[in-house]
Chains A and B, each alone.
Chain A
Amino acid sequence: MKGSRTFWTVLILLAAFHAVVLFAGFFAPYGYSRQNRDFPYAPPTRIHFVDSHGHFHLRPFIYGWQASSDSYGAYAVDSSETYPIHFFVGGARYEIAGLIPSRTHLFGVTAPGQISLMGTDGYGRDQFSRFLYGGQISLAAGLIAAALSLLLGLAIGSLAGFYGGWLDNALMRGGDLFMALPWLYLLFAVRAAMPLHIAQGQVFLLIVVVIGLIGWARPARLIRGVVLSAKERNFVIAARGFGASDFYLLRRHILPHTYSILLTQMTLLIPQYILAEVTLSFLGLGIGQPLPSWGSLLSGLQQYYVLASYWWMFLPAIILIPVFLGYSRIADALQERFAVVPL
């Protein structure tokens, strides 16, 4: 099949990307909270093979930065300092997959040189490292929240659609209620009620769980619509006539119809929940410093001066667009497979 090759390519690329995120400690040259106060908002480091004398080096190297003394955040390349890039170097301690401690990083340069593939932020922290570490939190958050919303939505939506009547009414009105409530306040309350000592990452995940639990209403409504039309199809009525139990009908004949909606929703919801943090941090509910997350990296862009002055702060967004695109590709492909429901 023609589409299948693309599908596998996308899948492998996505898997590779997620592996890099999972082993962020190894791929990131620096820790996410390491500040280099001499270089706030430094642009991405250029990697050279040919030095200023025209000599070619097999081992790539970078030049040092010279901060301009009179204007903030302006740098000049100092070609008198060269720092060769080394591979499998020792550096800051981290844990592989949160378990095995290690100090080996894929690449790095000797201090005081700093290699920042995606530039640095306002504290002089390496954006590339923060992007990788941030992915761990954001992906976990997005997955958890989307899964929670969909599971709840599936359960409630199919119950409502399948049984109809007062149960349907009660559940769907409940859904309307859920969508209209000022949940922000619940989030404020959850955040404020938590003890100050809980680690920032856990606080954030908890908030995300709450958001996920709140978000069932929309998928439930869509799933109900599908179930409602599916249960009137002839084969379902026929199956019922043969004495199939409700559970069997739901599992065998009706829920398969919801897979396409579930997958579409999943691929929509994961990016949405990752991006929801931008709005959350607008209201002060985003992840706490110094932890990075994709949402917080993007929310840095909402300031006009960043938008106008530091183009490399866009890089996280530019990387994430193809990633999210990959998600939807996978979803489309899966949807195609599932769309053919066995009669």
Chain B
Amino acid sequence: MKFLARRLLYSLAILLAISFLSFLMLQWAPGDYFEAMRMNPRVSAQTVEVLRAQYGANRTFAARYVTWMGSLARGDLGVSFAYGTPVGPLLWPRARNTLLLTGSSMILSWLMAVPLGIWSAARKGALLDRFFSFATSTVLAVPDLLLFLLLLLLAVRTGWFPAGGMVSSNFDDLSFWQKAGDVAIHFALPALGLAVVALPLLLRHVRAAMIEVLNAPFIRAARGHGIPPWRLLWRYALPAASNPLISLLGLSIATMLSASLIVEVILSWPGLGPLMIQAILARDVNVVIGVVMLSSVFLLAGNLIADVLLFASDPRIRVE
């Protein structure tokens, strides 16, 4: 319990540091939201100055950071320059959609990666292992963006999947089960895409970790004792190989979140991605920081879970 409390405290401190450094970094990048507005010939320099003052964007770094901390305490995360509304309400519904997508594709990819990784480690060098190696390298050699576009092309050409969005336009008229089905079919393509993007990395690590363990003397001894290969793999080797894999679990959340940024834009999934990309390009500072903070929370939560799992599974760590 003490371990958990300490980790939570750490996480909070990190969140604080992230918010400060993010602010600093946004400060460094030249140009701001209002500068870009001035490029519109219909908007005069005075108007821009007034707006800047209105949003307090002309104040010192420290003053803005303090104001932002205040808004964090209120839970609204500051005001978006572009939307003119608090950032919090902009984020929540989109965060839900992003979590739905990344969460389920993460489960999907782990469900595929662990058995496949063990399988190919057990048959190292065999045709199957080579095939997986080839497939993962192929996927790794294809940029995510291209992969999603190819998926999209598939959806359009075959008509099997809707070409984007989260629901059909007649969604409101559907019954509950039809609604669930509608979301599911819209969900299939982005979730599959994300899982495919995450899979190679996971698969390789599972395989590498398993191979390492399979060479260890205790496995050789166990094999010598005539323990059946299936049981050997799952009961003896997998737990031993789980340490780096659990660390990887926390890390894979970061991969998922950044990949989902792109998949959401391409397949118009109504998550944080499109909001973030636009805010980045428009320098809508509070929205960017809001999204960064939110994804940091996801990330830290993932790492926390991983650490707790490690703590629970590896007595050596527990001793410390």
Contacts and interface: CB of A to CB of B under 8 A. Distances in A.
A97 interface: no
Interface of B: 10-11, 13-14, 17-18, 21-22, 25-26, 28-31, 125, 133-134, 136-138, 140-146, 149-150, 153, 201, 204-205, 208, 211-212, 215, 243-244, 247-248, 250-251, 254, 262, 280-281, 288-289, 292, 295-296, 299-300, 303, 314, 316-317, 320
A221 B251 contact: yes
Contacts of A164: 320
A18 to B, nearest CB: 16
19 contacts: A176-B11, A180-B18, A181-B292, A182-B280, A184-B280, A185-B29, A185-B280, A186-B28, A222-B247, A226-B244, A228-B317, A264-B208, A275-B143, A299-B145, A302-B145, A321-B141, A324-B137, A328-B137, A339-B211
Interface in A291-343: 298-299, 301-302, 304, 307-308, 317, 320-321, 323-325, 327-329, 332, 335, 339-340
Contacts of B250: 221
A328 B201 CA distance: 12
A261 B248 CA distance: 12
B243 A229 contact: yes
Contacts of A335: 208, 211
A340 B214 CA distance: 11
A189 B212 contact: no
B30 A176 contact: no
Nearest to A224: B247
A317 B280 contact: no
Interface stretch (A37-45, A116-124, A276-284): A276-284
B203 to A, nearest CB: 11
A192 B31 contact: yes
A229 B204 contact: no
B141 A271 contact: yes
Contact of B29 (A189, A264, A327, A339): A189
A218 interface: yes
Given A283-B281, A325-B134, 19 more contacts: A180-B254, A180-B295, A182-B26, A185-B26, A189-B30, A225-B243, A228-B243, A264-B205, A278-B146, A279-B145, A283-B280, A301-B146, A302-B146, A317-B141, A320-B141, A321-B142, A324-B137, A324-B140, A325-B138
Interface string A229-255: 100100000000000000000000000
Q: Considering the complex of A and B, which 5 residue pairs feature the smallest CB-CB distances, nearest first?
A: A180-B296, A189-B28, A278-B143, A325-B137, A324-B141
Nearest to A180: B296
A193 interface: yes
B318 to A, nearest CB: 12
Contacts of A188: 29
Given A182-B25, A299-B143, A317-B142, A173 B280 contact: no
Question: B25, B134, B215, B288 — which one has the most chain A CB atoms within 10 A of its CB?
Answer: B25
Interface in A178-230: 179-186, 188-189, 192-193, 218, 221-222, 224-226, 228-229
Contacts of B30: 189, 192-193
A181 B18 contact: yes
Nearest to A223: B244
A189 to B, nearest CB: 4
B28 A182 contact: no
Contacts of A323: 141
Contact of A325 (B141, B205, B303): B141
A66 interface: no
Contacts of A182: 22, 25-26, 280, 288-289, 292
B241 to A, nearest CB: 10
A79 interface: no
Nearest to B205: A264
Contacts of B125: 3
Contacts of A184: 280
B212 A339 contact: yes
A210 B262 CA distance: 22
Given A176-B303, A180-B295, A279-B262, A298 B316 contact: no
A192 B29 contact: yes
B14 A177 contact: yes
A102 interface: no
Contacts of B143: 275, 278-279, 298-299, 301-302
Question: A224, A232, A325, A329 — which one has the most chain B CB atoms within 10 A of its CB?
Answer: A325
Contact of B149 (A180, A189, A302): A302
A152 to B, nearest CB: 16
Given A179-B254, A279-B262, A169 B10 contact: yes
